[in-house]
Amino acid sequence: MELDNLDILKNIKRIEVPDALYHTIECRFEKNRENNIPILKVGIAASFVIGLMLAQFYFLGFSSEINQFNNEIELVEVNNNSLYYE
Amino acid sequence: MVKKSVTYKNIYNQYKNLVFNLALQYCQNRQDAEEITQDVFVKIFDKWQTFRKDADLKTWIYRITINQSLDFLKYKQRKKRSFIISLLSSDSSYKENLLPDFDHPGILMEQDESLKILMQKIYRLPKNQKTVIILLKIEGLTQREVAEIMKLSEGAVESLFQRAKTSLKKIL
């Protein structure tokens, strides 16, 4: 077979698509659209979660500052020898 | 909603045969070609809103069809390969044996055995070489059109075409 002459490929017949195919495509497309979660709603939910996490980190940091302050107070030596003098 | 539906129907009617026949050249099987055609149009409708209307619609549809066809072939070969590997101890020649379930109505109608053999050889080409042969020799596009679809220079298309011819000669 002469591979230099690929013109033989022009003999391939074009085939008509069956009419029923459009209905199948339409149904698939509609189903895909129903299954897709809207990006806007996902964005709002994600922003809310991120906001909560940031708030949590902020308040955790704030409360750890308070704890640190309290710990520093406890480290300060308090001379209360009244127990031993009793 | 009705207007959008009319647009989709128009697009489908205008390009259905192009998509189906192009998919058929890749998979060489009517059933697979119908499945690819469905995938292509669902994708077109899905991405229609983001399609730049100043770009060439036909080129865009060609690209989607080619990509979907190649993805389908890759998926099918992976499925066959995993089945065959489980049966064979050595994988030396399984790749050459992964021929399609040949059911190309456009060729079977012609009852041309040499055409069938050539198509089966084309099936085994690397994806870019296969694409260039299909677009140039079956779809009858110009080199310029093929270059635009494949996002290559015309020189690169010609070079790819020559390599494809050489590969076809080597395939037994």
Residue B67 is part of a domain; what is its CATH number? 1.10.1740.10
Whether residue B130 sits in one domain with residue B92: no
Tell whether A1 is within 8 A of chain B (Cβ). Answer: yes
How much is the pLDDT for A86?
Answer: 52
How much is the pLDDT for B69?
Answer: 97
Please answer yes or no on whether A7 and B37 come within 8 Å at the CB atom. Answer: no
Q: Which H or E element spans position B157? A: helix B154-170
User: Considering only CA atoms, which of B125, B114, B128, B116 is closest in space to residue B158?
Assistant: B128
Tell whether A2 is within 8 A of chain B (Cβ). Answer: no
Whether residue B93 sits in one domain with residue B155: no
How much is the pLDDT for B49?
Answer: 84
Residue B34 in tokens: 């119908």
Residue B89 in tokens: 């101890």
The alpha carbon of residue B79 is apart from the nearest alpha carbon of chain A, in Å, by 24
Residue B163 is part of a domain; what is its CATH number? 1.10.10.10
pLDDT confidence band for A5 (50 / 70 / 90): confident
Residue A63 in tokens: 């409360």
pLDDT in tens, A18-72: 878 999 999 999 888 877 767 777 888 899 999 999 998 888 876 766 667 666 6
Computed over every residue of chain A, the mean pLDDT equals 78
Q: Which residue range forms the structural domain that includes residue B165?
A: 125-172
User: Considering only CA atoms, which of B118, B148, B111 is closest in space to residue B133?
Assistant: B118
How much is the pLDDT for A69?
Answer: 67
CA-only gyration radius of chain B, Å: 17
Please answer yes or no on whether A10 and B137 come within 8 Å at the CB atom. Answer: yes
Instruction: Between A82 and A4, name the one with better pLDDT.
Output: A82
Whether residue B136 sits in one domain with residue B51: no
Binding-face residues of B in 119-138 toward A, CB within 8 A: 119, 133, 137-138
Q: Positive or negative CA dihedral for A65, A69, A71, A75? A: positive
Computed over every residue of chain B, the mean pLDDT equals 86
- DSSP alpha helices (H): ranges in A1-86? 21-35, 39-75, 82-85
Contact B135, B117 (CB under 8 A): no
Q: How many CB atoms lie within 10 A of CB B115?
A: 19
Which among A3, A8, A17 has CB closest to B20? A17
How much is the pLDDT for A43?
Answer: 85
In the predicted model, residues of chain B with pLDDT beneath 70 are: 1-6, 83-100, 110, 172
pLDDT confidence band for A2 (50 / 70 / 90): very low
Please answer yes or no on whether B112 and A9 come within 8 Å at the CB atom. Answer: no
Distance separating alpha carbons of residues B116 and B10, to the nearest angstrom: 34
How much is the pLDDT for B128?
Answer: 96
How much is the pLDDT for B163?
Answer: 96
Whether residue B100 sits in one domain with residue B21: yes
Q: How many CB atoms lie within 10 A of CB A73?
A: 9
How much is the pLDDT for B93?
Answer: 45
